[in-house]
Amino acid sequence: MIDTVLTYATDNWQPLAISSAAIFLAAIVRGFSGFGFSLLSITAISLLLPPREIVPSIFLLEVAASINLIPSIWREIDWRSIRWLLLGYVVALPFGIFALARFPEPPMQLAMSIFVLATAIMMLRGFRLEKTPGAGATTATGAASGIFNGAFGIGGPPVVLFYFSTPAAAAVSRASVIAFFLSTDILGLTGHYYEGLITAQSFAQFLAWLPALLIGVWAGAHGFRHVDQALFRRLVLIILMALALLTFGKAAYDWMSPA
């Protein structure tokens, strides 16, 4: 395995070096906001490699990024809400996979991106929940994340919108988002392993991209510590809107492109 990893890295050092720049920029966003890394990095690197060869490596990086951040955010994580979110996520994930197998992906992505964009605009204009939702609403949010992730690999927006619309402090929201994604990424890697998607190439890309990830996450987390809560929430919503527009553009392109 080690020889195969080294051979792949040696033979493909140019695309690995170029893609490291995308990893670095996406990692800055991840370290700052707690989300956005997968969508940004996969969208950029898919210009060089097919998604099937990218996603397992990105999931490995997501886990590494979360583990790197967990010690500094441990005390701020809202474990109660994460338990209910994960319950909804695990129950609903198979339904998302069912939808993926039977319905066209682009129109579903278009619908989700429009919903995320509209909700983020409402929140930028001042909409906020007066109190933190209870177990039922939290579980429903996790279910929405599970369906979206199973259907087209984008389960983050419902959870991000959930946390950043509640009265919880910005640090608590960011920490809880990071902890939730660590749990779902580990579940995702388990599925990739059983499907045989994790290969020597996956580990070669992971090791090549890891330095860019760690430096980018550090830079983003350092920036978070110097931003006040109100400005941070606003920046998070702007990032979420940008990701929604990126998803919309990709889905529209895929829908209109000939098969």
pLDDT in tens, 91-104: 998 888 787 667 77
pLDDT in tens, 191-202: 778 878 788 888
Minimum mean pLDDT range among 118-122, 160-164, 210-214: 118-122
Q: How confident is the model at residue 244 (pLDDT cuts 50, 70, 90)?
A: confident
Give pTM, 2 decimals.
Answer: 0.80
Domain residue spans of the chain: 1-75+197-225, 79-167+227-259
**Sign of the alpha-carbon torsion through 93, 95, 99, 101:** positive
Helix (H) or strand (E) holding 150: helix 135-152
Q: Within 10 Å of residue 17's Cβ, how many Cβ atoms? A: 11
Residue 157 is predicted with a pLDDT of: 81
Provide, rounded to the nearest whole percent, the portion of the chain with pLDDT above 90.
Answer: 31
| CA distance linking residue 81 with residue 133, whole number of Å | 9
**Is it the case that residue 259 has pLDDT exceeding 60?**
no
First to last CA, the chain: 36
Q: Within 10 Å of residue 8's Cβ, how many Cβ atoms? A: 19
Using H for helix, E for strand and C for coil, what is the string for 1-54? CHHHHHHHHHHCHHHHHHHHHHHHHHHHHHHHHCCCHHHHHHHHHCCCCCHHHH
Contacts of 190 (CB under 8 A, 6+ apart): none
Helix (H) or strand (E) holding 46: none
